[in-house]
A and B are shown apart, each in its own frame.
Chain A
Amino acid sequence: MSVRQALLALLEEGPMYGYQLRSEFERRTGATWPLNVGQVYTTLTRLERDGLVTQVTPQSGADSEGHVVYEVTTAGRDEVATWFTTPVGRSTPPRDELAIKLALAVTVPGVDVGTVIQQQRSATMTALQDYTRLKRDRVDATPGDLAWGLVLDSLIFSAEAEVRWLDHCEARLRRAAVEATPAPTTAPTTTPARERTAR
């Protein structure tokens, strides 16, 4: 994930030490993608190696309280600018466990796809209710709050899309099941059609 670019972008605001960077990241994104401090320092070490950040005081690199403070270099600023102006790629979609699960559920014999869909929809709907509850209780007091609000909206829209897609799958499977059911006049046939039945 884009921890590297995110930390660089935060350093555009001014020099910071690892723990500050983590707090600033979480202030903007909630606890959606928790960062541990170790991960922050590992990333900073790599960024320093690549010449994108430097330690602020060359002698010790530490402030009066002993924190190692970093600032972004010109090369680092260029990298941030490139990140912001390059669209996030969709050429290789992120692996979607649910889509894979459903693709297998409809093809592997003996799986009750209807139940798979229903259980997932309940779980996603519950998550959507939780996100909405968070949204209800918050106010945009600072730019950081607004940023977190937008991240929350992103979670809400994705969960909504998932529920819509599940509804769509259910409707299509039901239609397929109806079409696969032989008309009453023809001779009763085949188990394969049954296996494709949604519920």
Chain B
Amino acid sequence: MTAVLQLADVTRIHGEGETEVHALKSVSFTARAGELVAVMGPSGSGKSTLLTLAGGLDAPTSGTVSVEGADLATLGQKGRARMRRTSIGYVFQDFNLIPALTAAENVSLPLELDGTGTRRARELARAALTEVGIAELADRFPDHMSGGQQQRVAIARAVVGERRLILADEPTGALDTETGEEILRLLRARCDAGAAGVLVTHEARHAAWADRVVFLRDGVIVDETGADQVEALVDAGATR
């Protein structure tokens, strides 16, 4: 399986001198196609830093971050912005939908920004909304939807146009248990269909939906579970 996201020996230091904070220290991390990886850890452990670096929203102090084989540092600002519009999807805890746009418009916006024709973008948006099970809400505004429905729109927006890397930051944090599980099921399905997913969460029950769980403490990966099983599956798949 190919690595969609790769962090190689990444360190991120905020501030300098006495106020220097080492948010990540020499972290190496990979998310492969078809794999959902959960990142767990207490507040301040570096979870969010890892996600913003993976999404090209921030740059490492040292080390490299690659998405689909391209080193984000060498892409330049325009290249990174394009990568964010075409290859990377985000899902946030508070949905982050644009209130003045309908569900379908929220989903099609990134495609249109990237130059896809309006009609084509709308078609893709409808397909994505169908995938997350809310095709009938396409023309509704976020204010007229439940939290679970809004998060489905956010997932549709994150996956529209075959994005290969999905970054989710506590996507179920604002939802009840059952709705949260439906959202995880959708993320999971997308990864099973070939995307790479990174799920940042502090809830073990949610992390358990992932193939691998990485534990961060003070900017360092201290533990990892499930790696062996995944490797075994990969090996089995390779020899079949």
A residues lining the B interface (CB < 8 Å): 118, 121-122, 124-126, 128-129, 131-132, 136, 156-157, 159-160, 163-164, 167, 171
Which B residues are in CB contact (< 8 Å) with A136?
185, 188, 209
Partner of A125, one of B185, B188, B208: B208
Q: In B198-222, which residues have CB < 8 Å from any A CB? A: 203-205, 207-210, 213, 215, 222
Residue of B nearest to A167 (CB): B42
Give the Cβ gap from A146 to chain B, nearest Cβ, in Å. 14
Those of B207-239 within 8 Å (CB) of chain A: 207-210, 213, 215, 222-223, 225-226
On whether the beta carbons of A164 and B225 are closer than 8 Å, the reply is no
Q: Is the CB of A156 within 8 A of B223?
A: no
Specify the chain A residue showing the minimal Cβ separation from B222. A118
Q: Is the interface of A mostly helix, strand, loop or mixed?
A: helix
Known: A121-B215, A136-B188. A163 touches B226 (CB 8 A): no
Q: Contact at B205–A157, with CB atoms within 8 Å?
A: yes
> What would be 28 A-B contacts, judged by CB atoms less than 8 Å apart?
A118-B222, A118-B223, A125-B204, A125-B207, A125-B208, A125-B213, A125-B226, A126-B226, A128-B204, A128-B205, A128-B207, A129-B210, A129-B225, A131-B208, A132-B208, A132-B209, A136-B185, A136-B188, A156-B205, A156-B208, A157-B205, A159-B208, A160-B203, A160-B204, A160-B205, A160-B208, A164-B204, A171-B42
CB neighbours (8 Å) of B205 from chain A are 128, 132, 156-157, 160
- Interchain pairs with CB closer than 8 A, number: 44
Closest to A163 in B: B204
Q: B209–A122 contact, CB under 8 A? A: no
| Chain B neighbourhood of A125, CB < 8 A | 204, 207-208, 213, 225-226
Docked complex Cα distance between A118 and B41 (Å): 12
B167-198 contact mask (Cβ, 8 Å, vs A): 1 or 0: 00000000000000000010010000000000
Q: Which residues of A contact B207 (CB under 8 A)?
A: 125, 128
Least CB distance, B209 to chain A, in whole angstroms: 6
Hey, which chain B residues are within 8 Å of A131, CB to CB? Answer: 208
Chain A residues positioned under 8 Å from B222 (CB to CB): 118
C-alpha gap A194/B116 in the complex (Å): 62
- Report the nearest B residue to A123, measured CB to CB: B225
**A residues less than 8 Å from B210 (CB atoms):** 129
Contact B208 A122 (CB under 8 A): no
B185 → chain A, closest Cβ, in Å? 7
Tell me which residues across on chain B come within 8 A of A121, comparing CB atoms.
Answer: 215, 223
Residues of chain B contacted by A126 (CB below 8 angstroms) = 225-226
User: In the assembly, what is the distance between CA of A131 and CA of B207, in Å?
Assistant: 12
In the assembled complex, the CB of A2 is this many whole angstroms from the nearest CB of chain B, namely 26
Bound Cα distance from A118 to B222, whole angstroms? 9
State the Cβ distance, A111 to closest chain B Cβ, in Å: 18
Q: A160-B204, A160-B205, A163-B204 are in contact. Are A129 and B226 (CB under 8 A)?
A: yes
